[in-house]
A and B are shown apart, each in its own frame.
Chain A
């Protein structure tokens, strides 16, 4: 029999995040700090709207790009929050989570051999999506000394005459890093100079703790060369509803929509009705959750300082990315031993790229009491490691 598989797909590694989960699920008393989704339930009024839509029998496909009402609400929201203007008719499309948007944007924009700049550590799907779209991923290794922001120097160094697309994953999973206005202005200048496009994944845009998030598409000259991705998972605690969106110039959205049309048809109808309610009446929920994450963030930072564990202060998302290099172990060894000895699950930084070596990702999408217990165990763990040295 012939080999049934594509050569391309077999070279792609499965996600490194899941590996630990399989061990954790075997340990009933293990505490996890590993998940990448909110611990809050979707606000009740949003769920109720989903239920209502089911009761009303709204169980049919929506148009490919999504419900008109939802696209209009997204348009209003983006203008209100990030001062970017998108026509709901042909510059916004609703997707199955931000993940689908990443995939189809790359497929719509890349030709074989086009280079895609991917800053790492970052979310696990940019690299495989670039490969699946026949692009050539080029990794930019973000540095702790720059608080894991992308610098102009690093960007300039990575650009070749084949570079087409820059992925901007901020606020960042796993580091919690943000890019402020001045950082983005400098990046925008280089992008325009080299005639590049930007895929800006802003799924954590509502979770910033320093200043309001800045959308790179709002900077002069950037709207026409940016596809912005956002969604409902992190801001409204709606991960399981699988709902995101992409917006950008209609020439690009039109082509993305073709892929979506043939591969997906449309995003889940129930989720779309619920999302309308989230955008209309969800601001307070978002603010409440942000405030709560922020308290936990301050608490963790304080505890790391007490333990003498090196960690830059992250201002976005719900992750901390402390450095564990002093213990002379790889991230993988550290995480495995921590799980075995103290039954705390974290994700090794290397799951998000090789340059995550020497770091671990700690999620604070957990209750304070949960975090307290876990941090106590981590403290115990590192104290023992230091004693041994």
Chain B
């Protein structure tokens, strides 16, 4: 049941509990219990909203920063990652394979703000060796959702 609940709310976390129970064919109280349990176990870590800020007319600048860092004795990359993650400007931190070590997703109000953060805060962390800032120019798809307006239903009543 957990997988079913998670699969559904991953796309639509705003659904009413009673309705979700009907759709999954289970009791409402069971859904509620499972949700609560999964929140406590931090399987469900939050219910954020997917926003097209451009459309809202509110300026935001996002960037993906490639970071190379020195792993630390006994701690590996974890300590560096925790440090980076602490900044509220940072949306996401991933340890990745390939030519660099971390991919850091950032959001700021202006280009200046983002670059200032990188040069003054991120790069100055002593275990950070180098950074490369990639500004996001346009978001086409985010969290499995295509940002453009949904296409019109062109189906005809045929069969």
Which positions in A face B, CB cutoff 8 Å? 17-18, 20-21, 24, 32, 34-37, 39, 123-124, 173, 239, 291, 294-296, 298-299, 302, 345, 347, 368
Contacts and interface: CB of A to CB of B under 8 A. Distances in A.
B157 A302 contact: no
A21 B19 contact: no
Interface of B: 4, 8, 12, 19, 22-25, 153, 155-159
A93 B85 CA distance: 60
B22 A35 contact: no
Q: Is the interface of B mostly helix, strand, loop or mixed?
A: loop
B24 A24 contact: no
Contact of B25 (A21, A34, A298): A298
The residue among B19, B153, B155 with the most chain A CB atoms within 10 A of its own CB is: B155
Nearest to A25: B156
A363 B153 CA distance: 14
Closest 3 CB pairs of A and B: A36-B159, A21-B157, A295-B23
Nearest to A288: B7
A124 B159 CA distance: 8
Contacts of B4: 291
A123 B157 contact: no
B155 A35 contact: yes
A18 B159 CA distance: 9
B158 A35 contact: yes
Contacts of A20: 157
B158 A36 contact: yes
A345 B23 contact: no
Nearest to A294: B25
A328 B23 CA distance: 32
Given A35-B156, A36-B157, A39-B155, 4 more contacts: A20-B157, A36-B159, A298-B24, A298-B25
B22 A24 contact: no
Contacts of B155: 32, 35, 37, 39
Nearest to A174: B159
The residue among B8, B19, B153, B159 with the most chain A CB atoms within 10 A of its own CB is: B159
B23 A17 contact: no
Nearest to A300: B22
A376 B122 CA distance: 52
A21 B157 CA distance: 6
Nearest to B20: A295
26 contacts: A17-B157, A17-B158, A17-B159, A18-B158, A20-B157, A21-B158, A24-B157, A32-B153, A34-B157, A35-B156, A35-B157, A35-B158, A37-B155, A37-B158, A39-B155, A294-B25, A295-B23, A296-B23, A298-B22, A298-B23, A298-B24, A298-B25, A299-B22, A299-B23, A302-B22, A347-B157
Contacts of B19: 299
B157 A18 contact: yes
Contacts of A34: 157
Contacts of B156: 18, 21, 35
A270 B157 CA distance: 25
Contacts of B158: 17-18, 21, 35-37
A62 to B, nearest CB: 25
A296 B24 CA distance: 9
A21 B155 CA distance: 10
Contacts of B22: 298-299, 302
Contacts of A298: 22-25
B152 to A, nearest CB: 10
A259 to B, nearest CB: 22
A39 B12 CA distance: 18
Contacts of B153: 32, 39
B157 A173 contact: no
A138 B102 CA distance: 71
A30 to B, nearest CB: 11
B157 A32 contact: yes
A302 B22 CA distance: 7
B159 A37 contact: yes
Contact of A368 (B23, B25, B159): B23
A173 B157 CA distance: 13
A298 B27 CA distance: 13
A201 to B, nearest CB: 12
Contacts of A17: 157-159
B159 A173 contact: yes
Contacts of A35: 155-159
Nearest to A302: B22
A255 to B, nearest CB: 26
B28 to A, nearest CB: 11
A123 B23 contact: no
B82 to A, nearest CB: 37
B147 to A, nearest CB: 17
A21 B156 CA distance: 7
Nearest to B156: A21
A75 to B, nearest CB: 26
